[in-house]
Amino acid sequence: MDDAPSHRPLHGIRVLDLSTLGPGPFCSMLLADFGADVLHVERPSVAPFDPAAHLSRGKRSAVVDLRSPRGAEVIARLADRADVLLESNRPGTMERRGLGPDVLCERNPRLIYARLTGWGQDGPYADRAGHDINYLAISGALGVIGEDRPVPPLAMLGDLAAGSVLTAFGIVTALLERASTGRGQVLDAAIADGAALLSSAWLAELNAGMWAGRGRHLLSGVAPFYGVYACSDGRWFAVGAIEEKFYAQFLDVLGLADVDRSTQLNPKTWPALRARVAGAFATHPRAHWESVFAGVDGCGTPVLDLDELPDDPHLAARGTVVRDGDRIWAAPAPRLSRTPASAGSPAVRGADTAGALADAGYTETEIAALLADGTVA
């Protein structure tokens, strides 16, 4: 990992991250990768497994008790010099602490106040509890994934793609607008909104009368030329030979040259062909199919386990996934030619508390008092 200062695109942007769990910390990690100075404010209590601790690269860490009598004022003073504040509480929580956008944006009119939640700041569901699966279910995204029943795609599609990535995009666009107006604004980022947006292609098919439905769509895994198959060693292999020229090579590699290629897009032929393809893959281990498909444009790739990623030739050559001692981590993305991102070291919990307070104007005596009464740690 590279901790050296650089002129990355977000260099000089100060982010005050009050979020917890996964979506908020992943969002601020993206900003840190591209040069933002991220101060992650952590709670005094420590969870058995804290996702934020594993998404802390390139950040600083301060421990502040927001529920203490003086905790809110500490946050307000930190926000006075921030460009971005990121929070992920239920609607109304920050207002009850006296830290809502009406207060902090009046104190700091240039502040981008980013609110990342599941349901958003308003609407009938705004105050409900929920998780990734619920936001995907309501947005329509979950209903299009799977075959016989909807299949939750872990938390990648909802929390991270619809939540973290789109929030980071919103923050950057707000910063870009502020460059011309000098004014900050409030960002209402809802994972349900983002997941609905990511469903745009399937909504377009629905509008055109072309939506086949879950488990019948060409990209759902039901088509014999677009899916995953078990190999003889129990490992899996993925194929995506949609175009005619790729489909032809896919069939040839599997020894299915007798298949009528003119029926490729006829769903009635899929079950029988899928069974034949599955039978072919089951005759050899995954390594065999990796070798065979490496020499043709049949759109075939192994389904890698997480611990295999650093050893894949392509990922290794690009440094996409790196093994660092007993840790495996993914490199920043996307890649810029002139001002690339870089991954900093993981934050050390509370290591930057005193420094952050000093930057906010607290004296050594005041910092000592805050440490003594447990407001900060």
H or E segment and range at residue 46:
none
DSSP state for residue 121 in the 8-state scheme = S
H or E segment and range at residue 261:
none
Is residue 314 annotated as a catalytic residue, yes or no? no
Q: Catalytic one among 131, 188, 284, 288?
A: 131
Q: Please enumerate in sequence order all residues whose Cβ is within 8 A of that of 239, keeping only pairs 6 or more positions apart, or say none.
A: 225, 226, 227, 228, 229, 250, 277, 298, 299, 300
Q: Residue 160 corresponds to which tokens in the numbers above?
A: 């991270």
DSSP 3-state of 67: coil
Helix extents (H) in 7-130: 23-33, 71-80, 93-96, 101-107
Instruction: Provide the angle, in degrees to the nearest 10, between the axes of the packed helices 23-33 and 166-181.
Output: 50
Q: Catalytic one among 159, 193, 217, 352?
A: 159
- Report the sign of the C-alpha dihedral through residues 286, 288, 294, 295, in that order: negative
**Residue 346: which of 15, 25, 11 has the closest Cα?**
25
Please identify every residue annotated as catalytic: 131, 159
